[in-house]
Amino acid sequence: MKTVIGSALNVLRKTTGMLRAAQRPQNGSAMISLVNVTKAFDSQVVLNKLNLEITTGKITSIIGPSGEGKSVLLKHMIGLLKPDKGEVVVDGEVISSMRGSVLNEAREKFGMLFQNAALFDSMTVFQNVAFPLEEKTRLSPAQIRDRVHEALAHVGLKGIDKKYPDMLSGGMKKRVGLARALLLNPKIILFDEPTTGLDPIICRAIHQLIKDTHKRFGYTAVIVSHEIPQIFDISDDVAMLYKGEIIEKGTAKDIRQSTHPVVRQFITGSLDGPIRMVT
Amino acid sequence: MLLFVDKLGELTLWLLREMGSMLSFLVYALYKIVTSPGKPILILKQLHFIGAKSFFVIFLTASFTGMVLGLQGYYTLAKFGSEGMLGAAVALSLIRELGPVLTALMVTGRAGSAITAEIGIMKITEQIDALRTMALEPFKYLVSPKIIGAVIAVPLLCAIFDVVGIYGGYVVGVKLLGVNPGAYFHEMEKSVEWKDVYSGIIKSISFGMIISWVSCYKGYYAGHGAEGVSRATTAAVVMSSVMILIWDYFLTSVLL
């Protein structure tokens, strides 16, 4: 009985979400839209009536000073956090009002690479990458093994099946995380600071990997990054988050040439300007 | 005065919020156990971790508890010339009270703290978020198998505790102090009723639930960093132990 009621509620929630999404002016090219999103933790407002559209099939990078809420923004896109006000629309569905199994269904469109890769530390590399396949598909062990090796090969890793995450370098962990995120061919992949803490060569290698896999699989990518100016080389669009709002968004070229004082200061790394360091 | 009232109000509100949060966590966990209990292999792993791996510590605690009971019981009963009742005294103390409570406290220290630390570390390293982003329900992997495992393992460990404790009392009472072995077991058989056994089973099932519930909850809502996990682990052990003793009193008063 509970299951029947639960299913009926889920269908109702999903239908309501789709109807509400359909009522808004549709932009065919937006995979993710954040509309007037506000989020506060206690008294600290992190996102303030933020509006942002992520174009389908493109790599969009979100840049901004540390502690400005870039990761919070990313977590809203996948429904890990819910806005206090406003809506998050993903592929025509209002993800911010979803719960339970409907939200899980919407999340199947996503893959995510976390800042520290978030590999399951009690599992080997093979088990980590195989985990989504074992849980979400009915593939045979042999098919899973092939898919895992294929995914690891895509990110340039071989022969590390039996290693545990704490035996890997930072760059290798990120690549295993990317292999796991790519495995179910998601429509969207979110990258939370994919190159933080890596040396410049590994950093470039990860950026190249994102570019190559994006070209091969055609997913919509959202990257939160501090890597200026390298991030411009792989991004189609760049948005700058400052004081809870997107203060400028455009192509990588537009942002490079921006005259906005905050954007200029951030991309030149100057100490003088409107961004004040708290000391 | 106003400050005191302020603080009291704050504390009361925090307590109510915490109790509400813990209760809704338990209700959701039970709902998930019914709707998606998780793979049997995950439950077996928990049975191994909570049950089999606690065997040694339970064996050791039970042996010495039984031996102390045998020693204390013998000298107390000897004052009244009733040394023959030693078996009954040891068995009833163990089956009704000490078995379930000491087993639960030992499991809390050994497995409860580890459960909190494991889930807490998974939380702070975003492994729980990673499960969610894969559209997987964390309770199915992290909470349900642990609750099922503890509810099965703790009564079994308690049964082992009771048997080992009774033989501990036997070694001291019969082998060292010279109580008649026939009297030891005969008095035990006469005194222990089915009610004593099932009250022990009911207690250990509920203690298993308390340990896994509190430990999972504290890990799931652990604070930030290593300090957050360390505080959560301490809180889980303290809260589980206190709740076990309080719940034991209520259950005893109902089941007596």
Tell me what ipTM this predicted complex has.
0.79
Distance between B125 CA and the closest CA of chain A, angstroms: 6
Average pLDDT, chain A: 83
pLDDT for the residue numbered A7: 58
Q: Inter-chain contact B130–A118, Cβ cutoff 8 Å?
A: yes
What per-residue confidence (pLDDT) applies to B209?
Answer: 96
Q: Name the residue in chain B with its Cα closest to that of A189.
A: B133
Please compute the mean of the pLDDT values over residues A180-192 and round it to a whole number. Answer: 88
Closest listed residue to residue A113, CA positions, set A251, A219, A223: A223
Q: Which residues pair with A248 in a beta bridge?
A: A240
Torsion of CA B96, B102, B103, B107, to 10 degrees: 150
pTM recorded for the entire structure: 0.83
The pLDDT of residue B39 is: 85
Contacts of A129-138 with CB under 8 Å at 24 or more apart are A129/A176, A129/A179, A129/A180, A129/A183, A131/A180, A131/B134, A132/A180, A132/A183, A132/A184, A132/B134, A132/B136, A133/A183, A133/A184, A135/B134, A135/B136, A136/A108, A136/A184, A136/B134, A136/B135, A136/B136, A137/A184
CB pair distance less than 8 Å for A110 and B133 = yes
Confidence of residue A4 (pLDDT cuts 50, 70, 90): low
For chain A, state the CA radius of gyration.
20
Give the three-class secondary structure for A235: coil
Average pLDDT over residues A33-44: 89
Judged by DSSP in three states, A265 sits in helix
pLDDT at site A6: 54
Nearest to A118 among B35, B125, B136 (CB): B125
Say if residues A54 and A224 touch (Cβ distance below 8 Å). Answer: no
> By CA distance, what is B130's nearest residue in A?
A118
pLDDT at A214 over 70: yes
DSSP H or E stretch at residue A127: helix A125-136
Closest Cα to residue B239, out of B22, B11, B51, B50?
Answer: B22
Mutation site, A98, A104, A113, A185, interface B, largest B CB count within 10 A: A104
A7, A72, A120, A136: best to mutate for the B interface, most B CBs within 10 A: A120
Best of A9, A98, A114, A193 to substitute, by most chain B Cβ atoms within 10 angstroms, is: A114
Between the alpha carbon of residue A60 and those of residues A54, A220, A222, B160, the distances in Å are 7, 8, 5, 61
H-run or E-run covering A87: strand A85-90
pLDDT tens for A115-169 read 888 999 989 999 999 998 988 888 899 999 999 998 888 888 888 889 999 998 8
Residue of chain B nearest A180, judged by CA positions: B134
Give the DSSP letter of residue A165. Answer: G
**Mean pLDDT over residues A77-94, rounded?**
90
Is the pLDDT assigned to residue A90 strictly greater than 80? Answer: yes
For β-strands A220-224 and A44-55, DSSP reports them as unpaired
Beta strand A188-192 pairing with A110-113:
parallel
What CA–CA distances, in Å, run from B154 to A11, B30, B52, B151?
Answer: 41, 18, 10, 6
Q: Which helix (H) or strand (E) holds A63?
A: strand A59-63
- CB B174, CB B72: distance < 8 Å: no
Q: Is A122 helix (H, G, I), strand (E, B) or coil?
A: coil
Nearest to A107 among B35, B122, B133 (CB): B133
Peptide bond between residue A261 and the one before it cis (omega within 30 degrees of 0)? no
Are B136 and A108 within 8 A, CB to CB?
A: no
Beta carbon pairs, A and B, within 8 Å: 51
Distance between B212 CA and the closest CA of chain A, angstroms: 20
CA distance B60 to B49: 18
CB contact under 8 A, A104 and B137: yes
B118, B126, B135 ranked by CB distance to A118: nearest: B126
Mean pLDDT for A89-104 is: 87
A105 contacts B127? CB cut-off 8 A: no
Chain A, nearest residue to B121 by Cα = A121
Q: What is the pLDDT of residue A24?
A: 43
Q: Tell me which of A95, A135, A187, A193 to substitute to probe the interface with B (most B C-beta atoms closer than 10 Å).
A: A135
- Taking CB atoms and an 8 Å limit, are A118 and B127 in contact across chains? yes
CB-closest option in A75, A120, A135 to B127: A120
**Tokens found for residue A19:** 């109807």
For residue A197, give the amino acid letter: G
Considering CB atoms only, which of A108, A119, A121 is closest to B135?
Answer: A108
| Predicted pLDDT at A216 | 85
Among B140, B135, B155, B231, which residue's Cα sits nearest to residue B198?
B155
Q: Which residues of chain B have pLDDT under 50?
A: none
The token pair at A206 is 């990860």
What pLDDT shows up at residue A1? Answer: 47
Cα A46 from Cα A244, distance rounded (Å): 5
pLDDT at A23 over 70: no
